Chains A and B, each alone.
Chain A
Amino acid sequence: MSTMLRINRDKCGYCGTCVAVCPEDALELIDAYLSLERECISCGTCARACPLGALEVVHEE
């Protein structure tokens, strides 16, 4: 089973709150596009902090 970070781009307000709480510096806000630039450890901190609920750690078989 693997995990990944899913970004709901219809919800994302591209505010960067997730970037500042990410312990791995994995996320980057490039203008109006949130990008997963480096390896995500699926800790879910970003998903908690998001004011809109645009981020989700999903587990896949």
Chain B
Amino acid sequence: MKSKYDILVIGGGPAGALAAKTAAEAGNSVCLIEKRPAIGTPVRCAEGIGKELLKEFVKPDPRWISADIERARLIAPNGTTIALEQDRAGNEGGYVLDRKVFDRELVWQAAEAGADVAVKTRATAPIMENGAVRGANVISIGRPAEIRAEVVIAADGTEAQFARRAGLDTVVPLREMMSCAQYLMTDIDIDAGSTDFYLGNEVAPEGYLWVFPKGERTANVGIGISGRKSRDGSRAKDYLDRFIAKNFPNGKTIEAIVGGVPVCRPLACTVADGLIVAGDAARVVDPLTGGGIGNAMYTGRLAGEVATECIEAGNCSKDALMRYDREWRASKMGATIERNYKVKEYFVTLDDAKLNTLADSIANISLKEFSVSALIKELIKRNPKMLFELKALKDALA
């Protein structure tokens, strides 16, 4: 680790790794720092991602793919199940990853491209000069140090403290913080080719409970509930334990993790002078699904590209870096986040009776397309009596 680089990347998750790899491949001197002593652990993720999205960034490798997913099932409060099959869908389904190996692979690729990597190295504060970020003060295995850089890419995840200390508002409102718990369970009866989503206010208020296969009789069984629904006796862990007692009483838990998923809108602005914010720290998680891996890789790569251009042009001001902000907002990802935010805001208002009505209306329908928009269009078509209520959904598609 040196005291000066072209680009300093904070955080060794998928956003930071793609940023570092992209920037290093373009010929920049790059340092990626990770506050944990190991890349990829502890996992804070349900590990699901669409195949097509993943392939945009990395070639699938069995070493970090735990399961191949052919279908998704939505289970309404009354048990009505809506199955979305990949063959009917026309797209390729998804994977459940092994993030411990996956994240390590991505950082490995960044290192191979020439980036320095420092673990157990925490950024304590940005170095600020005339209102611009010029690097970071870090503590590396107990030793304080200064790392200066033309551009800092903050990819520090949910906590997002680096951008916050540089003056951006990254605080997540309580109601839009999904409070999550997950067990990696084994010896359970599951459909190993299906990601299952359980909905309902008794099961997971303003969120959902998931069963994502990791193998034949193994799965990530987890839950996210809105922070505003989280209280003593009814926290994420309590809901999860109740579901497991009922559904997998003989399962064995071999890993227990917790975490927070921000489902607010993205940051109002994701750049500042000398700073780009990427991944969960930029709040670019899909607000409906909570999925963040693909969006992290996309924004990480874009951050690396834009930082490279700005360094070459000798201008790393906010105005110059704004190309990053404009580009992701105008992208398919940006449009999907905005739409799914509105869809999420509608769904959290539904009581279980309405969720059941909606689920029953589409339970026996073969959807030609495996997508949120196809699902919503079908809901609107099948529920003329709820047209007024569903207007919010219709508007979200517009």
Does B161 sit within 8 A of A, measured CB to CB? yes
CA distance A19 to B24 in the complex (A): 31
Also in contact, A15 and B258, with CB within 8 A (given A30-B122, A51-B179, A52-B235): yes
Name the contact of A20 in the complex, choosing from B35, B181, B237, B260 (C-beta under 8 A). B260
Contact across chains for B260 and A31 when beta carbons are under 8 A apart:
no
Contact across chains for A48 and B258 when beta carbons are under 8 A apart:
no
Contact across chains for A20 and B158 when beta carbons are under 8 A apart:
yes
B255-276 interface bits toward A, Cβ cutoff 8 Å, 1 = contact, 0 = none:
0111110100000000000000
| Nearest neighbor of A37 in chain B, beta-carbon distance | B124
Contact across chains for B36 and A31 when beta carbons are under 8 A apart:
yes
Q: Tell me if B's interface is mostly helix, strand, loop or mixed.
A: mixed
Q: Which of A1-59 contact B (CB under 8 A)?
A: 13-23, 25, 28-31, 45, 48-53
CA distance A13 to B235 in the complex (A): 14
Contact across chains for B120 and A53 when beta carbons are under 8 A apart:
no
Does B170 sit within 8 A of A, measured CB to CB? yes
CA distance A29 to B11 in the complex (A): 14
CA distance A50 to B180 in the complex (A): 9
Does B37 sit within 8 A of A, measured CB to CB? yes
Contact across chains for B164 and A25 when beta carbons are under 8 A apart:
yes
Does B326 sit within 8 A of A, measured CB to CB? no
Q: Tally B residues with Cβ within 8 Å of A.
A: 37
Also in contact, A51 and B161, with CB within 8 A (given A13-B257, A20-B171, A20-B172): no
Contact across chains for A52 and B171 when beta carbons are under 8 A apart:
no
Also in contact, A52 and B172, with CB within 8 A (given A17-B158, A31-B36): no
CA distance A48 to B44 in the complex (A): 19
Name the contact of A52 in the complex, choosing from B44, B181, B262 (C-beta under 8 A). B181
Contact across chains for B171 and A17 when beta carbons are under 8 A apart:
no
In the complex, what residues of B have CB within 8 A of residue A15's CB? Answer: 44, 257-260
CA distance A31 to B159 in the complex (A): 12
Name the contact of A16 in the complex, choosing from B165, B170, B181, B259 (C-beta under 8 A). B259
| Nearest neighbor of B260 in chain A, beta-carbon distance | A17
Contact across chains for A31 and B37 when beta carbons are under 8 A apart:
yes
Contact across chains for B257 and A17 when beta carbons are under 8 A apart:
no
CA distance A31 to B69 in the complex (A): 33
CA distance A35 to B152 in the complex (A): 25
Contact across chains for A48 and B230 when beta carbons are under 8 A apart:
yes
In the complex, what residues of A have CB within 8 A of residue B230's CB? Answer: 48-51
In the complex, what residues of B have CB within 8 A of residue A21's CB? Answer: 171-174, 177, 227, 260
Name the contact of A51 in the complex, choosing from B120, B258, B262 (C-beta under 8 A). B258
Does B157 sit within 8 A of A, measured CB to CB? yes
Does B160 sit within 8 A of A, measured CB to CB? yes
CA distance A60 to B77 in the complex (A): 43
In the complex, what residues of A have CB within 8 A of residue B228's CB? Answer: 48
Contact across chains for A50 and B179 when beta carbons are under 8 A apart:
yes
Does B319 sit within 8 A of A, measured CB to CB? no
CA distance A32 to B179 in the complex (A): 18
Contact across chains for B260 and A53 when beta carbons are under 8 A apart:
no
Name the contact of A49 in the complex, choosing from B35, B36, B260 (C-beta under 8 A). B260
CA distance A49 to B231 in the complex (A): 8
B177-218 interface bits toward A, Cβ cutoff 8 Å, 1 = contact, 0 = none:
101110000000000000000000000000000000000000
CA distance A31 to B210 in the complex (A): 27
CA distance A27 to B322 in the complex (A): 30
Listed from nearest, the 6 A-B pairs whose CB atoms lie closest are A17-B260, A13-B258, A51-B236, A51-B258, A49-B227, A19-B159
A–B Cβ pairs within 8 angstroms, 28 of them: A13-B257, A13-B258, A15-B257, A15-B260, A16-B260, A17-B158, A17-B177, A17-B260, A20-B172, A20-B260, A21-B172, A22-B171, A23-B171, A25-B161, A28-B161, A31-B120, A48-B227, A49-B174, A49-B177, A49-B179, A49-B227, A49-B230, A50-B235, A51-B180, A51-B181, A52-B235, A52-B236, A52-B237
